[in-house]
């Protein structure tokens, strides 16, 4: 399977052909929607078929990043809005499961706007949130179950998650790196 992030272009709403030029749209007046489209190659690799799509949560989160997990069997999609963030697992052809995992689960909310998120090929998910004067890091498992959360030393600006190499017997855990708005970096070995 393959996936892409696509930003549909705004459509003009003019209905009459008048001589005056169309009104200029401001960034605030055009709703921006990002769509993840999941494709699958079929018919002996001759046909590319869209099998799934996702445009964000009903709360207004928009996808901003994605990553394959488990030998390309699950696509982890990270979405955010100005007040929240979410993580959703998309299985290309449904995979015979009743409900795809998502975080936060129904009835819960994220600790604040999602600043960044990433996952390892094995399915460890890390996300950092701005809590208004501070920050929180969340660690989720392969089924997007909460494994741990911890307060950050300040407001996060960016994060990265580095997975160990699988070569050799001495592979250690993943490393989470968070940088802060006021400067500085903090590193955790997970």
Q: What digits encode the pLDDT tens for the residues 141-183?
A: 988 999 999 999 999 999 999 987 665 443 458 999 999 999 9
How far is residue 85's CA from residue 78's CA, in Å, rounded to a whole number? 8
Neighbouring residues of 149: CB distance < 8 A, sequence distance ≥ 6: 111, 136, 137, 138, 139
Structure tokens at 165: 């190499």
How far is residue 179's CA from residue 151's CA, in Å, rounded to a whole number? 14
Q: Please give the share of the chain, as a percent, with pLDDT higher than 90.
A: 33
pLDDT at 6 over 60: no
**Which residue's structure tokens are 């005056």?**
20
Beta pairing partners, 179 = 158, 185
How far is residue 34's CA from residue 21's CA, in Å, rounded to a whole number? 28
């Amino acid at each position: 399977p393959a996936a892409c992030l696509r930003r549909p272009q705004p459509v003009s709403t003019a209905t009459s052909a008048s001589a005056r030029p169309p009104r200029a749209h401001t960034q605030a007046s055009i709703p921006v929607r990002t769509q993840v489209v999941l494709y699958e190659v079929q018919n002996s690799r001759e046909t590319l078929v869209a099998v799934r799509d996702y445009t964000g949560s009903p709360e207004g989160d928009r996808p901003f990043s994605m990553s394959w997990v488990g030998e390309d069997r699950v696509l982890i999609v990270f979405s955010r809005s100005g007040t929240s963030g979410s993580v959703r697992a998309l299985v290309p052809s449904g995979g015979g499961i009743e409900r795809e995992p998502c975080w936060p689960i129904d009835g819960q909310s994220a600790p604040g706007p999602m600043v960044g998120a990433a996952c390892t090929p094995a399915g460890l998910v890390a996300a950092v949130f701005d809590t208004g004067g501070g920050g929180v890091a969340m660690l989720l498992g392969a089924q997007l179950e909460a494994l741990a959360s911890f307060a950050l030393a300040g407001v996060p600006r960016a994060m990265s998650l580095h997975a160990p190499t699988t070569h050799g017997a001495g592979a250690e855990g993943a490393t989470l790196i968070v940088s802060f708005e006021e400067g500085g970096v903090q590193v955790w070995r997970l």
